[in-house]
Amino acid sequence: MFRQLHEFIKENYEQENFNTTYNKASKGWEKDNYTTCQHICSDYQLGYQQAKYDYQAHHFFYHYPAKIVSLLNRITRGRISEIENYICGYNDAKATILHR
């Protein structure tokens, strides 16, 4: 599961899919005018942007096991820090959106 999540983050980051949002008025992916992640974007910000997109496009959020990932990151001495940061950003955006 974590390897799949890591590959998902890496693949979408490399393809710049976190830079785009789905525009319902069009029939595909389009860049919006608001500020989004670029190549200099952190994993935290990628997770934050993805949570915003999930809510706007689908009105639901995914659940990522943050505590397990945090523990595994400590055990592996930071080898999955990208995943942990992504999940932190995702969960922070989720909390922000739900508490509006």
Helices first, then strands: H and E counts in the chain: 4, 2
Choice between 79 and 17, residue whose per-residue pLDDT is larger: 79
Query: Residue 20: its pLDDT value, please?
Result: 45
Query: Residue 15: its pLDDT value, please?
Result: 65
Placement of tokens 């400590």 in the chain: 74
pTM of this structure: 0.64
Query: Residue 7: its pLDDT value, please?
Result: 77
d(CA 83, CA 92): 14
d(CA 28, CA 21): 9
Query: Residue 84: its pLDDT value, please?
Result: 95
